[in-house]
Chain A
């Protein structure tokens, strides 16, 4: 059966338009989704940054002789639209930032500045080391501090510790309750 050439051209054109429209739709939805995800990441970063600033202020009000770590547990989403994300404390050599980023799409990232545009202060924010801090009072337990944490973890905290009258340390970490605790 002979098919007219015009029908072949028309059918091919329709198929091309369908493919093109699908691609365009995917790109547009992907852009919209990225926008929403970025907004959510920014909100998480801002929330952590605010809690960190408040914890630092509270730590500086404390008496250095108590030698106590102050912490605040953060209530963060375990994932963003089934996508894992991580939280990182970073510095550009001059100031400190909270950065949140999707694990699988590193182009979707958000930062929130900590209002401290200098690393030469009496406040040291941990951006490049890990370790353990003992929580002596309150909920007790230990804090594994690290500059990078996956958002899905339980008991993510911001913490502050006044080492002496002039030096205060602060950062993010994961709180481990004492044995038998929750």
Chain B
């Protein structure tokens, strides 16, 4: 044999080694990739089960202003009941703590740690109503509002949805929160309905007013309370039960008339009756008020502050995005999972996106 033949043999051996190694790795790669996706799916299901069916520990952690993120030992959003519980019913107090504007906000890294995910995974949790209910003012001068009901994926208009609407406003003469008549109607083919409240405000203007809208579409119930005046300030209600109820303020306000007005929609044969009840209110400190009693079905609590200059609104409306990477809308390598849940009495979709932070 010549020296070239030895070299040629060596090259063939190396080529065989590289080819066979490449084949082995290539063959095993798809299985590993598919299994990685499957694992992400299982992890998403596990986290969703924990979030929607487990109340966390302490089980009623959302209801206590004194419970800080460091007091939590388990993270779950399910509503806790001593005697009975329902599946996929979330606690509005716990859900509201995922809102970054809430003074009792739970930072996502705490939630991830409590879920035992630490830095291995990233998550985004989106919570929004099953139907998109939008309210737009149709006239700059008159109190006319168009309520539109659409699906929240492709904005398909929902016709024949039963809509109840009523404005609650502060009357500076009586120094009370008063209300307009209840307007009830059905959406038309374009998913919209116009509600005209201008007759109630003829010769009278106030910027302390909110619009309460309740939509019922074949059992899907969505309640929204929206600020429609410039004098409305945001607050958070926690502890809708017998252990104490508080209004948390995002900035300092002074109590005016020591009472709240609670919006309570009630299902009737013809639609939803939106009423209000009153309860006592005392100032605990600059940023917290104690409410004597909150109706279990209350969707919003209002109070007059600052000598009648501010209407405080603590609404149970929930539309939020809770992400371990703030501002992230979607991750290309994530797995997404959705569940329909009930928060308060309204139907919501909870969407979990999960992705690996390390490979």
Contact = CB atoms under 8 A, between A and B. Distances in A.
Interface of A: 6-7, 10-11, 13-14, 17-18, 21, 24-25, 28-29, 32-33, 35-36, 39-40, 42-43, 46-47, 49-50, 53-54, 56-57, 60-61, 95-97, 112-118, 120-123, 165
Contacts of A117: 73-74, 113-116, 118
B46 A115 contact: yes
Interface stretch (B21-29, B186-194, B259-267): B21-29
Contacts of B42: 43, 46-47, 49-50
A64 to B, nearest CB: 11
B79 to A, nearest CB: 12
A61 B82 contact: no
B336 to A, nearest CB: 17
12 contacts: A32-B25, A33-B28, A36-B31, A36-B32, A39-B31, A39-B35, A54-B49, A57-B50, A61-B87, A120-B73, A121-B74, A123-B57
A43 B35 contact: yes
B6 interface: yes
A179 B10 CA distance: 67
A33 B17 CA distance: 17
Contacts of B115: 113, 115, 117
B102 interface: no
Interface of B: 1, 3, 6, 9-10, 13-14, 16-17, 20-21, 24-25, 28, 31-32, 35-36, 38-39, 42-43, 45-47, 49-50, 53-54, 57, 59, 73-75, 82, 85, 87, 113-118, 120
B24 A53 contact: no
> 10 closest Cβ contacts across the A-B interface?
A10-B6, A57-B53, A113-B116, A118-B73, A115-B115, A117-B116, A46-B42, A115-B50, A21-B17, A95-B116
Contact of B47 (A29, A54, A60, A115): A115
Contacts of B49: 50, 53-54, 57
B52 to A, nearest CB: 9
Contacts of B21: 24-25, 28-29
A46 B57 contact: no
A21 B39 contact: no
Given A25-B21, A114-B116, A35 B13 contact: no
A62 to B, nearest CB: 10
B39 A46 contact: yes
B354 to A, nearest CB: 12
Given A39-B31, A123-B74, 12 more contacts: A6-B3, A7-B1, A10-B6, A17-B14, A25-B17, A35-B32, A39-B36, A43-B39, A118-B57, A118-B114, A121-B57, A121-B73
B13 A21 contact: yes
Contacts of B74: 116-118, 121, 123
B14 A40 contact: no
Nearest to A117: B116
A24 B21 CA distance: 9
Contacts of A121: 57, 73-74
A113 B39 contact: no
B10 A17 contact: yes
Nearest to A6: B3
Nearest to A56: B54
A21 B14 contact: yes
A43 B34 CA distance: 11
Nearest to A165: B82
Contacts of A118: 57, 73-74, 114
A70 to B, nearest CB: 14
Contacts of A18: 13
A6 B7 CA distance: 12
B6 to A, nearest CB: 4
